[in-house]
Structure 1
Amino acid sequence: MAIADEPVPHRQGTSSLPTLSPAELRGRILRLEAGERLVVAGIGSEGLGRILAASDEAVCSRLVLANDGLRTTEAVLDRLLDDLAAVALARWPCWHGREGGVGSRSHGPWLKAAAKHAAAGRRPRFRRAAKSLEFAQLLLAIDPAGLVLVADVDPASPVRAAPAVEALEWCARHGAAVVALFSAVPPHVPPYDRVLYGAHEVLRDPAPVEVRFIDPRSRAHHASAVERRVEAALASDPELGPLFSCNARVPLGPSRTAPRVDLLWREGRVVVELDGPEHRRDPTFSADRHRDYELLVAGYLVLRITNEQAETDLQRAVEKIRDVVRLRRPMGVTIR
């Protein structure tokens, strides 16, 4: 008996909140102006970063607030100002307002003192100054077109969420565009009730089946004890475990091969190779260098660790991998 195709139902959100597609969410963020806010459920800062990066459009600068473990609004704001000062130092001397042109909104005394700090390699942070003054001037120095502040807010703990919510409200009052992100729709109780008015839920297509399928078997080469040890060490690490797959192919394009690598973080484009003694001699050594070149021009960062290093100090090998991951995905401050 033939079975007719069933009509695909219209996707609904998991709550009564109005919904946004990823493209609509990206457009809303690009149109945010100073002092405006956007509240979105069903997504975190990493997911938002992928949505923004998937577009060829010019995106605004954004900073992800590092608010984990901070129990007061004061602590969140102090961390934010520290992060803004670190970004300003990294961008020195390319600051808006240094020329002091007509119509500059820069505060002269702050700009002079901040420039002196930055020129000496110190962050332009002045804890005795009013937070509102520091905040406004750091935003202006970093990006006069406007900086979007993004915060992941805990949807399940009002106590942990309150400092982030209050900090975002403070930032919006002092001229920043802010985005509050909830991994799930929070209950309509304080402090969530203050931000849920006008909130949206983001709708996304399900991840491809190859991403959702979890193979319980080891993918390390059966003949490599080192690969199995490193794979097991990464699997037990909360930060690195979800990222790497073992013995994976990397497609480099239609005109090139798809080499098989020992460890791959596909999303971050990081390759880790575990090299035995044979990799020190030609022709293997020369072939490795050429493959590193092909991976490099395809956008992959390659870390090579010798078998001896992994055998004698496995934890050090894992920490090297962690350093490379954090180079690709900085912790705390994210700005594009």
Structure 2
Amino acid sequence: MGPSSQSATVTASLDQLETVAAQLFPAWLPGAEGIATTAGGGLAAVRSLAIAHAAGTAQYSPFLVDLAVGALAGAGPNTRRHPPEMRAAGLARVIAAALGRPGCALLLRPPDDLDENEALALVRAAQWLVDHGRLAVWISSGSPAPGDLLPEAGIARPAGTTAAGRPGPKVHSTVRGTVRCGRTTDDHYPGERQPGKSRRAGRHGKPHPASRTETLLEAALATRPWAVGRAWNHTLSPGPLVNPVRVDLLWKRERCVVELDGDDHRSAGKYADDRQRDVLLQLDGYAVLRFTNAQVHDDIENVLALLQQFLATRRRTRKGH
């Protein structure tokens, strides 16, 4: 994607999502498997199926009808008459359903020469897509994206390209959403961020001694030679106009951030704050991995395996440059 305003970036992203949805048709419309053309009663049948499917789901019937008709006819984008908020939510649901996943993520690849105003417009557009589409949005700035580096995380990638043949936004459907993570309610240490409370910073460079999750993960990482170079509770400055960001765990050389979230991160406000932090860090070239507290406590070997694979791929990429 090229330099653009917030609204233009949102529109272009929604059009690309619709292109992917059309490519996935009829996987998201039960009963349409045998309808391949508009000939005969094809259009009427697709309309009827879309109306029936919308009645049993959260989809808006006229939107789903337009999407299905456009996908069958090969004409798109065909849903622009609907509000962008409706398009974002509807397209995200359709793509996730087609791939059998609970949600999907959008990868944006901006050019490297964005000025500050263009970068801010991109961040705002990404935040808009998060808020209205319930999408996870990744911004890749010259660095490998999490979806490209974690195939074992269950990520499927129908690739999209622009009319000029350049890579455009890609849609990722992932088992874990945004490779997310966090703490349970009984794991808050004094001053740890909870709803309505601020978080007191942990010890710079070390796990917070009162956090069982950080202590447990550090104990496991300390036995793994590949985990060298990590630092806990580190502060990053994504840009001159952005407030510093305190991260839980960092591999600075590999530009990898790991966040461990509590149950409070499920709230709408905290979720939005997290996505904005992630976007700012991604614009600065960092990949942000998130794990639930249950993952760390109940399936730590899987967490370690994902981290090892991610770091190994980052290190190979750096050597390749």
Q: TM-score, normalised by structure 2?
A: 0.38
Structure whose residues are more often helix by fraction: 2
Q: TM-score, normalised by structure 1?
A: 0.36
Which structure has the larger Rg over C-alpha atoms?
1
